[in-house]
Amino acid sequence: MSTAMETDVTAGFEMVVGLEVHVQLKTQTKAFCGCSTNFGAPPNQNTCPVCLALPGALPVLNARAVELALRVALGFGFTVNARSIFARKNYFYPDLPKGYQISQHDTPIAEHGRLDIGLLINGEPRVIGITRAHMEEDAGKSIHDRYESATAVDLNRSGVPLVEIVSEPEMRSPEEAGAYLRTLKQILLYLDISDCNMEEGSLRVDANVSARPFGQVRLGTKCEVKNMNSFSGVERALAAEFRRQCGVLVAGGSVQQQTLLWDGAKGEIRPARSKEGSSDYRYFPEPDLPPLLISDAELARVRETLPELPAARRARYAAMKLSEYDVQELTADPATGPFFEAVLALHADAKSVANWVNGEVRAVVNERDTAWDAMSLEPARLAALIDLVRDGVVSSSAAKKIFAQLLVSTDTPRAIAERDGLVQVRDDNALAGWVDEVLAEHPVEAARYAAGEKKLVGLLVGLVMKKSQGRADPKLVNQLLSSRATG
C-alpha cells in the first residue's frame, strides 16, 4: 500500500492524549520497609518479609518518600490533600507477591496541577492540566529472557516508592506530548526527587490515546500504549497508534478499548497479553496503613527546601541580556547553572562566560559523560582564563589550547600560557620587526597595500601571525599595518 494512503487516513481527525508518568523516588530505602533501593543488585537481594509479602509482615511508611512526593506536589503547583488514603490495587501477577499493590485511589496526596510545556499555540503558552499525583509502590520484575522455558522473578524492585503523575487528556499531538514529558522531566530533575532514567526504569510513561473527528466534543474510545523507553519512542508510538485508530474509524469500524505495547525496534504497536489489559482492580482502603496526614507546618517546611525551578532561573538569566539560546542551554539541566554562576561571580561579563560554558565546557561534559562538579575544572581557573582573553594576554585560539590543558594540569592558566609559549606578543618592537619582514618578503603585496589597496590587510595580518607562530596580538598587528598604509 502506498504511504500516501496511510498518511491520508488521519485527515479530519484530532489526536487526544493523556499521559501517566511513573517516577521512582530517590530514597535510600523502599516505601514500606527498610530494604535498599539500589539499582543493579543481584536478583532478590534487596528483599525482606514486607516486600516479599510473607504472612504477618506489616508496612511502615517511609517519611522521606512522603517528603519527596510533597516536593513534586509543590513543584507543579498541585493542591495538597491534608488527608490522603492508601488503597490496595488488586491484581494477580507473578511479580506481585502480595496480590495487590499499595497505591492511592480516591484521595491522592496531590491534585489539580498545571504545566506550561514551553510551546506557543496561536501565540498562547500551552498549559496542560495535571489531574493528580499519587504515591504507590512498584511491583517486582519478571525476567523472560534468562531461562528458555521459564520466567524468573526479581523482587528487588518490589516496594520501591513511586509517584504517578496523571495528566488531563489535553495534549493534541506527539509534539505536545514530547514537550510535556521533557518539561516534566526537567522540573523533576531540578526538584532532585528522581534520576528520571528511562533505561533503568526510574521514569516510565504510559499513554492514553484516542481519535475523534475535529469539532466533536465527546472523546473517542481510548487505548493505552505501554513499553516506550524514550520520549521520542512515545512520540512515534502515539503517531502509529493514532494512525491505526483513524484507519479503523475511516473503514467504518469502532476502536476497541485495549492495552497495546510499543515495539521500538520494529516501530510497531501490538496488543498486550491479557494481564496488562485488566482494569477491574477492586480498590479498597489499605487496612494496614493509617490515612496520610500532612500538616501546614510540614508543607511549609518542605516549601522552604524547594530549589529554584527552571522557569525562575530562565527569567533571571534572560535579565542578564543573554540570548534565548544561551538561556535555554544554561538551564537545560540543574547543574549547569550553578557552574555558570560560580564562574560569573569571578568574571563580570555574562556573555563570555556563557560562551565558554555552553561551548568548550559543555563539549567536555558531554564527551566524558560526566557531571559538572566532577569535571576537575574549578570555576576560578576558567574565570582566570577568560580574564586572560579579555586582557589581551592570550588570543581566543590560544585560550582553547590552554583550556584543554586546564583539564589535565594543575597549573594556572597564565602559567600554562607562559609554559607553552601562548602569551600574545604585544611588544611594539617585536611586532614591527615581524611586519617589516613580511612586507620585505612580499614586495608586490606590500606595494599594492601602500598604494591604498586596503583589503590586503587581512592577508598581511595572517602572514604576520604565521611568522609569529600565532603569538602576535592580531589587533596590534592590524593597527601597525594601518599606520603603515596611511603613513
Instruction: Name the minimum Å distance from CB 52 to Zn ion.
Output: 7
50 vs 260 by CB, closer to Zn ion: 50
Shortest Cβ distance from residue 407 to Zn ion (Å)? 43
Judged by beta carbon, residue 32 or residue 449, the one nearer Zn ion is: 32
Residues between 231 and 270 that touch Zn ion (CB under 5 A): none
Query: Please, what is the minimum distance in Å from the beta carbon of residue 97 to Zn ion?
Result: 11
Nearer to Zn ion, 36 or 478 (CB): 36
Please say which residue, 75 or 159, places its beta carbon nearer to Zn ion: 159
Q: What angle do CA 157, 115, 338 make, to 5 degrees?
A: 75
Q: Which stretch binds Zn ion (CB under 5 A): 17-25, 46-54, 336-344, 358-366?
A: 46-54
CB of 299 to Zn ion, least distance (A): 29
Is the CB of 39 or the CB of 283 nearer to Zn ion? 39
Which three-class secondary structure string do you get for the chain? CCHHHHHHCCCCEEEEEEEEEEEECCCCECCCCCCECCCCCCCCCCCCCCCCCCCCCCCCCCHHHHHHHHHHHHHCCCEECCEECEEEEECCCCCCCCCEEEEECCCCCEEEEEEEEEEEECCEEEEEEEEEEEEEECCCEEECCCCCCCCEEECCCCCCEEEEEEECCCECCHHHHHHHHHHHHHHHHHHCCCCCCCCCCCEEEEEEEEEEECCCCCCCCCEEEEEECCHHHHHHHHHHHHHHHHHHHHCCCCCCCCEEEEECCCCEEEECCHHHHCCCCCCEECCCCCCEECCHHHHHHHHHCCCCCHHHHHHHHHCCCCCHHHHHHHHCCCCHHHHHHHHHCCCCCHHHHHHHHHHHHHHHHHHHCCCHHHCCCCHHHHHHHHHHHHCCCCCHHHHHHHHHHHCCCCCCHHHHHHHCCCCCECCHHHHHHHHHHHHHHCHHHHHHHHCCCHHHHHHHHHHHHHHCCCCECHHHHHHHHHHHHHC
Nearer to Zn ion by C-beta: 52 or 346? 52
Span from 48-56, 232-240, 308-316, 320-328 in contact with Zn ion (CB under 5 A): 48-56
Q: Quick one: 35 or 189, whose CB is closer to Zn ion?
A: 35
Q: Minimum Å distance from CB 28 to Zn ion?
A: 13
| Least distance CB 40 / Zn ion (angstroms) | 17
Binding-site member from 50, 162, 211, 463 for Zn ion (CB under 5 A) = 50
Q: What are phi and psi of 339, to 5 degrees?
A: -65, -45
Footprint on residues 121-140 left by Zn ion (CB under 5 A): none
Question: Site residues for Zn ion, window 4-43 (CB under 5 A)?
Answer: 33, 35
Q: Could you say whether residue 61 binds Zn ion (CB under 5 A)? A: no
Select the span of 50-58, 334-342, 418-426, 429-437 touching Zn ion (CB under 5 A): 50-58
Q: Record the cell numbers describing residue 263, joined without a space.
A: 515495539
Residue whose CB is less far from Zn ion, 57 or 342:
57
Q: Which is nearer to Zn ion, 51 or 438 (CB)?
A: 51
To the nearest whole angstrom, how small is the minimum distance from the Cβ of residue 48 to Zn ion? 3
Q: Is 48 in the site for Zn ion (CB under 5 A)?
A: yes
Query: Does 327 interact with Zn ion (rule: CB under 5 A)?
Result: no
Closest CB 32 distance from Zn ion, rounded Å: 8
Size of the site for Zn ion (CB under 5 A): 5
Using rule CB under 5 A, residue 477 touches Zn ion: no
Report the nearest approach of Zn ion to the CB of residue 146 (Å): 22
Binding flag, residue 51, Zn ion (CB under 5 A): yes
**Which residues here bind Zn ion, judged by CB under 5 A?**
33, 35, 48, 50-51
